[in-house]
Structure 1
Amino acid sequence: MTPSAHQDTFARDNLPPRETWPELVFSRPELQYPERLNCADAFLEVHVREGRGGRSCIVSPTESLTYAELQDRVNRIANVLTKELGLVPGGRVLLRSANNPMMVACYLAVLKAGGIVVATMPLLRAREIAYPVEKARIALALCDARLADEMRKAEPLCDSLERVVYWGTHDDLGLETLMENASPEFEAVDTAADDVCLIGFTSGTTGEPKGTMHFHRDMLAICDAYGKNVLRAEPDDRFIGSPPLAFTFGLGGIVLFPLRIGASTVLLEKAGPNELLPAIHEHRASVVFTAPTAYRAMLPRLPEFDVSCLRKCVSAGEPLPKATFEAWHEATGLALMDGIGATEMLHIFIASPEEEIRPGATGRPVPGYEAKVIDSDGLELPPGSVGRLAVRGPTGCRYLADERQTKYVERGWNITGDTYLMDEDGYFWYQARSDDMIVSSGYNIAGPEVEAALLTHPIVAECGVVGAPDEERGMIVRAYVVLREGESADAATAKLLQEHVKREIAPYKYPRSIVFVDALPKTQTGKLQRFALRRQASEEAAR
């Protein structure tokens, strides 16, 4: 590793042992980076330096900023951090906010000052906030004042947290007041390309969150691999999306990708389907990032809005059902760009540009990444075989002081926990999370495949499918179903859905048990928590 600029060495001290890292591959010219770089320069400074400071950068319902205006704000915050709040290179800063311009300014200011960002979902409660604070030994937090209640409840739970500074308070101790007296000039800290700049905590789909450690060069690599070679957006594009910036899908999709190419982005604090569609219409957004469930929910309201401005629609965060792909394409003429990413990898590593999309397939490895399907012993399987997904490239898993590092990385490859099939043409077809595979009477049944079949029925709003213990079959397929408003949650409806699934996929895969629920357990990023459903199914079987 390159000599670090970090005075606070916590991050480097708590990287996993080097022999447990995945192999990092920099196989393409665009992925060659100097030994020293501060990624804030590439996302902000370069545009002002090269005469693009007057270009639109961030648009929101309350304010809009050019690149030069954002630079001024970032520099003032960086000066506050280093001269007033005691941040030294390598120090961790907790950020708490919805998606808005101030959140982005704080994010870039921490990076520019050589600090390490730990961003959290706005809806987290006190104990959920305290976990990353203690795990990453965070001393300083910057927080939107509207989120003060839970932040204050979290403070007594955090031994390491020394100070919280709020913005939006307009008082003498608020961030804006401190910024007024700060200089608008700040030179980026001369960080190493492999200095940690972000600790992203996983969303908890499989249990206790893990802190994933990312370098300055990683922030550029996802832009120069996926952004440059697959997304292929242009400086005149306007990005928009729903994922929170604390979710690396959102960070890349609606901040890093546009800023890397000098484009603009629309930030919405509320970006559900009912807010996203009118915002696309109003702001003439051309690139959208959201989850499959959001695209499905937006379909009925498409005729109400002019979305002819859209050029590219990216879907990730969970599997994209073919039915959703086809319905969106029929309604808009646009192909949903599916992709799989991971917090451990920072962003998407398998996807295809529009002209290479095969509906139902996730895609092929993003240029700069390699992927293969392996068996339980780590041996590569031939095309057409179902097995575990392994991937490597310019980014990779490095958990913060976590023994699970050796479970995620095997023989230099990142093992994502997904079950895939690769066809003869190198396209990867999602089967299930590795722990979502249901074995019933000797048959392997992928829960997400059953979910996709159920979602093709118009009365199903949402569903989650897991294996439930069964004395006769070992496991049976159980579906937890949220019906659309006005539908009857009775035995006749369950029978209707079972017969529907039998028509959609192999009959042996149908859910022998259907439980109607008002809501499904989800993470703060909106992902279905199948582990919670599996636990519920086990508890129900034990009664």
Structure 2
Amino acid sequence: MGASAHTDRFVLDHLPPTDQQPEFLFDRPELAYPERLNAAVELLRRAIAAAGPEGRALIDHDHEFSWARADAISSRMARVLIDDMGLGPGNRVLLHGPNSAWTVLAWFAILKAGGVVVATMPRLRPAELASVLDKARISHALVYDTLAGAVTEARASSPALNRVMTSGELQRAAQGLPPGTGFEPVDTAADDPALIAFTSGTTGQPKGCVHFHRDILAMADTFARHTLDLGPDDIVAGTPPIAFTFGLGGLVVFPAAAGAATAFAPRPGFDALAETIERHTATTLFTAPTGYRALLKLAGDHDLSSLRTCVSAGETLPAATSDAWHDATGVRIIDGIGATEMIHIFISARGDDIRPGSTGKAVPGYQARIIDAEGCPLPPGETGRLAVRGPTGCRYLDDPRQSAYVQDGWNLTGDVYRLDEDGYFWFVARADDMIVSSGYNIGAPEVENALLRHPAVAEAAVIGAPDEERGQIVKAFVVLNSGYDPSDALRTGLQEHVKAVIAPYKYPRALDFVDTLPKTQTGKLQRFRLKAGA
């Protein structure tokens, strides 16, 4: 471990004990990082080297920035952070903004100034923000103008937060610096904390995941390097928030590492995403399975033919969605499993290596295996817990749940998988989503995928509901496509459809029609909310 540049050691002092951290692997040459490394500096260096100083970098609906301007502006912002806001190395900085060029520039600036980025979803309420402020002991905040109200309210109950600057104030302060004002980025260690990413709350109370400067580079040098094949001519678009590490990688880190550009939608929503793809001829797309299903409905009104690479993560990609997208666009979606704890995707496949329904193989740099309840490896064909290790891994900020996630040096993601003879990993269910009915183990995603193959079904979620006779029964919640109305006849038809597609004992004995499904702000299904009302 290199000598830390952090004078504020709060994060370093609240990392898990060494014996509770995973084993990290750096056995590939591209993962041999120097002791001194600032991720923002290195990413911008790579971007300018690949695309040239005037290469397109960040494209908003009314403005765009070259990589040289992004570098210069973020340096001026960093100067304001230190001189005007008193930021010290290791201080945590709340970054509360939408997916936009400003948010990316501010992200680079915080890292250049030696701060630790704590990015939050734009729609978080004051109480949720206050929880993050307190957990991470955040002292500084950069806030987009239109989102300032929630932070102001949260600040009232979070005394540690004493320095706040809005996007407009930061922009004016940076522009007001004298011409030629220089800035020397803080000389951080590769293993200095760079960000705290909070999990999206699919299972309840979010956890703060600490990632180092080297971890940010590692996600680019593993998944992006070996699976995406991005270059300076590519334009990326997508829906995952930058506060979500899926979005951070796809919309910030991966484009910078390759010198590609990112085009931001002018507003939330899949219609705006489709417009952005068409307007800027985006070549690469990041969104969740829900997004691909929504875009399929919009494809007739928008030209999506510029897309050549499409990535899905956040939740498992049903084979039905993968096939429907391929039929409509000719592009096979790259599925991947990642985790906030791991920073990004660690199992995936692209091109001819994709097998619809399978997540893929371990990304180069990572190892993955299936284990039983005692932690022993299982042979191909057996179903068990997924364990993974590589150059990134779980470090919860002061959280007793660390010992459950990391065991014997491996990260246990909470997923149940099966490995086939060819080394492909097949998702079965989240460990807490396995349904045990009359002694049978039933994976909720398999039933959901069967339902999605029916033309009436737009979305489906499946849980195990308590049952005196069977222990649990399969219960489905179904959102219908337009043109279909709830009825007893349709309910029976869907049940019979599932019996015809998969083993009959897996069919949903209970099925409710609903208008929407509960989801996190990143689009992940919140099954625990469905279970609470079951």
Under TM normalisation by the shorter chain, which class is it?
over 0.9
1:198 aligns with 2:198: no
- Looking at structure 2, the residues matched to 182 and 493 of structure 1 have their Cα atoms a distance apart, in angstroms, of 66
The answer to which of 36-45 and 420-429 deviates more is 36-45
- Looking at structure 1, the residues matched to 147 and 294 of structure 2 have their Cα atoms a distance apart, in angstroms, of 28
Gaps in structure 1 of 5+ consecutive residues: 169-173, 538-543
1:398 aligns with 2:395: yes
| Cα deviation 1:285-308 (Å, max 9, x = unaligned) | 111111111111211322333222
Residue from 154, 169, 178 that aligns with 2:173: 178
Q: Secondary structure at the match of 1:257?
A: helix
Percent of matched pairs sharing the same residue: 55
* Aligned partner letter, 2:397: L
1:73 aligns with 2:70: no
- Looking at structure 1, the residues matched to 352 and 459 of structure 2 have their Cα atoms a distance apart, in angstroms, of 30
The answer to which of 155-164 and 380-389 deviates more is 155-164
C-alpha deviation, 1:486, in angstroms: 4.6
* Aligned partner letter, 2:133: V
The answer to which of 347-356 and 180-189 deviates more is 180-189
Residue from 417, 432, 435 that aligns with 1:435: 432
- Looking at structure 1, the residues matched to 350 and 43 of structure 2 have their Cα atoms a distance apart, in angstroms, of 24
- Looking at structure 2, the residues matched to 81 and 353 of structure 1 have their Cα atoms a distance apart, in angstroms, of 41
C-alpha deviation, 1:269, in angstroms: 4.7
Residue from 278, 281, 286 that aligns with 1:281: 278
Residue from 383, 386, 389 that aligns with 2:386: 389
1:504 aligns with 2:501: yes
- Looking at structure 1, the residues matched to 219 and 49 of structure 2 have their Cα atoms a distance apart, in angstroms, of 23
| Cα deviation 1:58-116 (Å, max 9, x = unaligned) | 11102100011111210111011000101011010001111001100100000011110
Q: Secondary structure at the match of 2:156?
A: helix
| Cα deviation 1:150-184 (Å, max 9, x = unaligned) | 1222111212111221123xxxxx22222122355
| Cα deviation 1:380-406 (Å, max 9, x = unaligned) | 000000000000000000000000000
Alpha-carbon contact 2:46-2:258 (below 8 Å) kept: no
C-alpha deviation, 1:439, in angstroms: 0.1
- Looking at structure 2, the residues matched to 270 and 455 of structure 1 have their Cα atoms a distance apart, in angstroms, of 28
- Looking at structure 2, the residues matched to 330 and 483 of structure 1 have their Cα atoms a distance apart, in angstroms, of 21
Q: Secondary structure at the match of 1:68?
A: helix
Superposition CA RMSD, Å: 1.3
The answer for the alignment partner of 2:459 in structure 1 is 462
C-alpha deviation, 1:503, in angstroms: 1.4
Matches within 5 A, 1:347-386: 347-386=344-383
1:146 aligns with 2:155: no
The answer for the alignment partner of 1:44 in structure 2 is 44
* Aligned partner letter, 1:153: E
- Looking at structure 2, the residues matched to 535 and 395 of structure 1 have their Cα atoms a distance apart, in angstroms, of 34
1:132 aligns with 2:132: yes
- Looking at structure 2, the residues matched to 130 and 332 of structure 1 have their Cα atoms a distance apart, in angstroms, of 43
The answer for the alignment partner of 1:171 in structure 2 is none
Alpha-carbon contact 1:99-1:269 (below 8 Å) kept: no
- Looking at structure 1, the residues matched to 204 and 370 of structure 2 have their Cα atoms a distance apart, in angstroms, of 25
1:165 aligns with 2:162: no
- Looking at structure 1, the residues matched to 310 and 83 of structure 2 have their Cα atoms a distance apart, in angstroms, of 42
* Aligned partner letter, 2:175: E
1:331 aligns with 2:328: yes
* Aligned partner letter, 1:8: D
After superposition, the Cα gap between the structure-2 partners of 1:110 and 1:12, relative to the gap in structure 1 and judged at 3 Å, is: same
C-alpha deviation, 1:50, in angstroms: 8.2
After superposition, the Cα gap between the structure-2 partners of 1:51 and 1:182, relative to the gap in structure 1 and judged at 3 Å, is: farther
C-alpha deviation, 1:495, in angstroms: 1.0
The answer for the alignment partner of 1:263 in structure 2 is 260
TM-score (norm 2): 0.97
- Looking at structure 1, the residues matched to 71 and 226 of structure 2 have their Cα atoms a distance apart, in angstroms, of 28
- Looking at structure 2, the residues matched to 474 and 84 of structure 1 have their Cα atoms a distance apart, in angstroms, of 61
The answer for the alignment partner of 1:540 in structure 2 is none
1:225 aligns with 2:222: yes
Alpha-carbon contact 1:212-1:400 (below 8 Å) kept: yes
After superposition, the Cα gap between the structure-2 partners of 1:409 and 1:269, relative to the gap in structure 1 and judged at 3 Å, is: farther
- Looking at structure 1, the residues matched to 97 and 163 of structure 2 have their Cα atoms a distance apart, in angstroms, of 17
- Looking at structure 1, the residues matched to 378 and 266 of structure 2 have their Cα atoms a distance apart, in angstroms, of 44
The answer to which of 497-506 and 208-217 deviates more is 497-506
The answer for the alignment partner of 1:93 in structure 2 is 93
Matches within 5 A, 1:511-526: 511-526=508-523
Alpha-carbon contact 1:72-1:185 (below 8 Å) kept: no
* Aligned partner letter, 2:234: D
| Cα deviation 1:233-278 (Å, max 9, x = unaligned) | 2221111111000000000011100101111111225353212222
1:240 aligns with 2:237: yes
C-alpha deviation, 1:354, in angstroms: 1.2
Q: Secondary structure at the match of 1:65?
A: strand
| Cα deviation 1:308-359 (Å, max 9, x = unaligned) | 2211111111111111111111111111100000000000000012121111
Q: Secondary structure at the match of 2:194?
A: strand
- Looking at structure 2, the residues matched to 256 and 450 of structure 1 have their Cα atoms a distance apart, in angstroms, of 35
Alpha-carbon contact 1:241-1:271 (below 8 Å) kept: no
* Aligned partner letter, 2:171: E
- Looking at structure 2, the residues matched to 361 and 131 of structure 1 have their Cα atoms a distance apart, in angstroms, of 37
- Looking at structure 1, the residues matched to 51 and 374 of structure 2 have their Cα atoms a distance apart, in angstroms, of 54
* Aligned partner letter, 2:102: M
After superposition, the Cα gap between the structure-2 partners of 1:251 and 1:484, relative to the gap in structure 1 and judged at 3 Å, is: same
Alpha-carbon contact 1:5-1:89 (below 8 Å) kept: yes
Residue from 439, 447, 452 that aligns with 1:450: 447
* Aligned partner letter, 2:214: R
* Aligned partner letter, 1:175: L
**Count of aligned positions:** 532
After superposition, the Cα gap between the structure-2 partners of 1:47 and 1:510, relative to the gap in structure 1 and judged at 3 Å, is: closer
Alpha-carbon contact 1:363-1:427 (below 8 Å) kept: yes
1:113 aligns with 2:113: yes
Q: Secondary structure at the match of 1:403?
A: coil
Alpha-carbon contact 1:441-1:473 (below 8 Å) kept: yes
- Looking at structure 1, the residues matched to 471 and 188 of structure 2 have their Cα atoms a distance apart, in angstroms, of 55
After superposition, the Cα gap between the structure-2 partners of 1:450 and 1:46, relative to the gap in structure 1 and judged at 3 Å, is: closer
The answer to which of 175-184 and 362-371 deviates more is 175-184
- Looking at structure 1, the residues matched to 182 and 223 of structure 2 have their Cα atoms a distance apart, in angstroms, of 33
Residue from 186, 190, 194 that aligns with 1:189: 186
The answer to which of 279-288 and 488-497 deviates more is 488-497
| Cα deviation 1:466-494 (Å, max 9, x = unaligned) | 01000000000111122234532232221
Residue from 281, 296, 299 that aligns with 2:296: 299
- Looking at structure 2, the residues matched to 103 and 205 of structure 1 have their Cα atoms a distance apart, in angstroms, of 25
1:424 aligns with 2:421: yes
Q: What stretches of structure 1 move > 6 A for 4+ residues in a row?
A: none
TM-score (norm 1): 0.96
* Aligned partner letter, 1:90: G
- Looking at structure 1, the residues matched to 87 and 338 of structure 2 have their Cα atoms a distance apart, in angstroms, of 32
Gaps in structure 2 of 5+ consecutive residues: none
1:490 aligns with 2:473: no
